[in-house]
Structure 1
């Protein structure tokens, strides 16, 4: 949408290892179309950028309505909202193929959205400060409770994450400000810590009170990490809106 890469390169990055992506419900299209055609159609409709939404129950993060779109996005736990046209896209993921040769297909459903500021998305500066505070507070609680995810297993996963990043993994597309890359990397690291703490059991937190304290510590951190991810992904559009570019 910014004109920094070709449509074909954009499609390759979006599809990744999936088999195919199609878009259904585009204006003036009666059948699903391929992603390259869909991106061109969106540009012709006035779309100049895309925002990410990562909603969760009770937290419509990045959404602007109407309720029908929000409900569908909440069910998928992700959506894309167009900037420049009142449209949004919600993915529906399918697995297809015989056993041993299963592949992923995605249909993006294009729906009308309300043109309004997205819900609860912080600025990059706010997101960075919130992440640092949340990580510090959660680490203190998890360490005190001896929760799995604050020890060697977590450190090994973090080291592996850093190794991938150092091998040149592109975190964001070309054109994003360096601060957005920094915020997204930190948000992904925080999200990794939270998932490790959930996946590796209760550690030493064996009483119901300690387990409740662990949940209380993790929930706001998880929320903060999601908010920061959305702020980072949406930074390019936000800067264009403010006239930075």
Structure 2
């Protein structure tokens, strides 16, 4: 499922902070979410890891005026621009934030601390050099919305033929759980984002919920190896399109005010 990436929260609320739409305390609170603490290592001018508030302030002083999201997957460097060292770290984490205005990027390292049943999640963001170039394979919001609607239609038709369409009780439960989380989380994006970005991100997450449900082995009638392979082939393009739409939504406020 396309859950909310930490890179998405950092970029969205970091952009709102850079635009002066939220306070540093509110931005950091939203970024940290249910985690225990977020710190940033490798910030230029800082000898060791620092808190998010100081890190974002330092990045702004270095000329950063926008934050973009990257959600790469094997064979798909979505949102990345290099160098290879940064891309490899981002691919391992499956997410990253790329700064605009300074050749820097941030990759999260997530760790759990504490005994079973009382694990505290800590995140250390590694600030690393990046190549200043257009991000790979990121569509505009309009393109993302059209592609997502088409991919959803095609995948639904294919999965219907396989009797695993996102219309059974498992899929319905997945979408209901997604909607409950959305309502509990409140805002889908931070202040300053266009309504179209909110709509695209909501649709991308809903598609992710349907994809996750269709991938479940207990849903539908596709049980043979060939049917499972057909199901996977139908889901891969729509999952890829949903990730592209997700990145387009998070990055839209940066693209709208300054281009790529």
Which TM-score band (shorter chain)? over 0.9
Structure 2 residue 193 is matched with structure 1 residue 176 = yes
Structure 2 residue 79 is matched with structure 1 residue 62 = yes
Corresponding residue for residue 41 of structure 2: 24
Q: Pick one of 27, 36, 51 that aligns with 2:53.
A: 36
TM-score, normalised with respect to structure 2: 0.89
Structure 2 residue 127 is matched with structure 1 residue 110 = yes
What secondary structure is seen at the aligned counterpart in 2 of 1:241?
coil
Does the Cα contact within 8 Å between 1:135 and 1:190 map onto a contact in 2? yes
- Size of the aligned set, in residue pairs, is 243
What secondary structure is seen at the aligned counterpart in 2 of 1:234?
helix
Corresponding residue for residue 222 of structure 2: 205
C-alpha deviations, 1:4-23, integer Å up to 9, x for none? 10111110000011111110
Partner Cα distance (2:226, 2:174) in 1: 28
- Displacement after TM superposition at 1:205 (Å): 1.1
Corresponding residue for residue 247 of structure 2: 230
RMSD of aligned residue pairs (Cα, Å): 1.7
What secondary structure is seen at the aligned counterpart in 2 of 1:203?
coil
Gaps of 5+ in 2: 1-17
Partner Cα distance (1:126, 1:175) in 2: 21
Corresponding residue for residue 239 of structure 1: 256
- Displacement after TM superposition at 1:167 (Å): 6.4
- Displacement after TM superposition at 1:147 (Å): 1.8
TM-score, normalised with respect to structure 1: 0.94
- Displacement after TM superposition at 1:68 (Å): 0.3
- Displacement after TM superposition at 1:163 (Å): 4.7
What secondary structure is seen at the aligned counterpart in 2 of 1:213?
helix
